[in-house]
Amino acid sequence: MATWDAFALATAIAGETRAIELCVGPLATAVRDPVAMAMGIASVAAVARRPVHLAIGSSSHVLVERWHGRRRERTARHIRETAEALRPLLAGEKGRYAGELVRTDGYRLRLPAPETSLTVAAFGEATVRVAAQVADRMVLNLVTPALVAEMAGRTPRLAAWVPAAVDPAPATRAQLARGLIPYLGAEGYSDMFTAAGFGEAVEAARGGMHPAELLEQLPHDLVAAVGLVGTEMDARRRAAEYFDAGLDELVIVPATAGDDAGRRTLQTLRTLAP
């Protein structure tokens, strides 16, 4: 989003690993067009010599309109049209698509067609409906098991990114909490956090409280509501709740403050897959 170019980072990861499959994204459909995405995925797959998958989604007004100078509008339709235009391109066919927001005509991959599934990052009802219709997988970010239960069964596969920290130090908890600040007042997320019992924090965020002050007032258990945080037993119990709610893939995002490269957390939780 703001640091690494996704395709460059995926290529670097491929050079340091042998077997893991890669998934690039979610790439913002208002910023990258289908041809650029298909070329990028095919390039990484050719270098990595293994399947490379693609995730697409929307992004913020700041990223789309201020940083990139593009228009952010009708995001659910933009995701749908991008997915529809991508399918033939990723299959190595000539692209021909004329939608309301997405157009391409005549390009065909010069590299071999990659083995690529298509993931849609969704949260609001409109993008969830689109994911159910066009995606091989839907991925959610920062969700409670209760919300996973609501979404389960709506797409072929359901994945979720969850922050994780085993035996977190104070610096670790602070890092995790800072990552939640932008989401507390955001549409959709605010309803989830309120339903989980954190309505006061949501109202403070919506009221414009300064992030530093808000950080000091966040409940201690807020991060644990959307992640695997605590003792090893706490983390494993929470992971089981996600799988019991219908999650197919748990994507662990380890905190690194107080745990260099997230090694302790990753080594502890490496056997979580059911």
The Cα–Cα gap between 220 and 157 comes to 32
Question: SS3 for 165?
Answer: strand
Q: What is the pLDDT of residues 214-254, one digit of tens each?
A: 988 888 889 999 999 999 999 999 999 999 999 999 999 99
Q: Which two tokens stand for residue 14?
A: 């491929």
Considering the chain, what is the average pLDDT of its residues? 93
Q: Which two tokens stand for residue 108?
A: 């065909």
Q: What is the pLDDT of residues 97-142, one digit of tens each?
A: 999 999 999 999 999 999 999 999 998 889 999 999 999 999 999 9
267 CB-near residues (< 8 Å, 6+ apart) = none
pLDDT at 187: 77
**Is residue 274 over pLDDT 70?**
no
Say how far residue 215 (Cα) sits from the centre of its chain.
Answer: 23
Amino acid at 11: T
Burial class (CB in 10 A: 0-12, 13-18, 19+), 192: buried
Query: Which residue segments constitute the domains of the chain, with CATH numbers given?
Result: 1-135 (3.20.20.30), 142-274 (no CATH)
The Cα–Cα gap between 117 and 127 comes to 18
Q: What is the pLDDT of residues 50-99, one digit of tens each?
A: 999 999 999 888 888 898 899 889 999 999 999 999 999 999 999 999 99
pLDDT at 166: 95
pLDDT at 113: 96
How many beta carbons lie within 10 A of that of residue 111, not counting itself?
15
The average pLDDT across 17-33 equals 93
| pLDDT band, very low/low/confident/very high, at 273 (cuts 50, 70, 90) | low
The Cα–Cα gap between 156 and 34 comes to 22
Q: What is the pLDDT of residues 174-183, one digit of tens each?
A: 999 999 888 8
